[in-house]
């Protein structure tokens, strides 16, 4: 399974402006839905509800906010980097710098979990994370993610 089936270069934010968890989720949600018919506020609400179950900040400067949304036709993925870090209530208590946001159709449990697992595996690679943080722009970030997606 390739995440690049759903992940597009246009859904990358090189330098997230947000300074809080809700702001990060809103910023990454808006970029996902700008060309669709999904209300970004509904998407943000679904993701914040999921965060109430436990933070998706998994440590090592990474968060993977994810959830499901009724009325969505396909999985949407966005990626962003915060150069200053955001308190995302991560498991290790440290700021988060890299965010993969994943939202899936309400009834796509299997596919949703496979994509989530793939992103998690990719982000376990310290060299991959370092390359993303050092990338000079959207094109390079997309190339690094695509290469890793193809290799895993």
Rounded to the nearest 5 degrees, what angle is found at the Cα of 58, between the Cα atoms of 57 and 61? 75
Query: Are the C-beta atoms of residues 67 and 93 closer than 8 Å to each other?
Result: no
Query: Are the C-beta atoms of residues 46 and 68 closer than 8 Å to each other?
Result: yes
Q: How many helices (H) and strands (E) does the chain have?
A: 5, 6
Q: Which of 21, 66, 68, 148 is catalytic?
A: 66
Whether 66 sits among the annotated catalytic residues: the reply is yes
Query: Are the C-beta atoms of residues 57 and 88 closer than 8 Å to each other?
Result: yes
Q: Where are the alpha helices (DSSP H) in 4-72?
A: 21-33, 40-52
Could you give the residue numbers annotated as active site? 66
């Amino acid at each position: 399974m390739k995440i690049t089936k759903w992940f597009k270069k246009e859904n990358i934010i090189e330098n997230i402006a947000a300074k809080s968890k809700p702001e990060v989720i809103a910023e990454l949600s808006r970029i996902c839905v700008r060309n669709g018919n999904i209300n970004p506020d509904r998407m943000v609400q679904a993701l914040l509800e999921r965060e109430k179950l436990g933070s998706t900040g998994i440590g090592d400067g990474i968060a993977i906010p994810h959830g499901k949304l009724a009325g969505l036709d396909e999985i949407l993925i966005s990626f962003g980097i915060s150069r200053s870090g955001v308190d995302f209530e991560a498991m290790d208590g440290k700021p988060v710098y890299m965010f993969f946001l994943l939202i899936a159709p309400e009834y796509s449990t299997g596919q949703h979990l496979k994509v989530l697992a793939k992103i998690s595996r990719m982000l376990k690679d310290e060299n991959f994370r370092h390359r993303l943080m050092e990338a000079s722009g959207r094109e390079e970030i997309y190339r690094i993610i695509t290469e890793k997606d193809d290799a895993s």
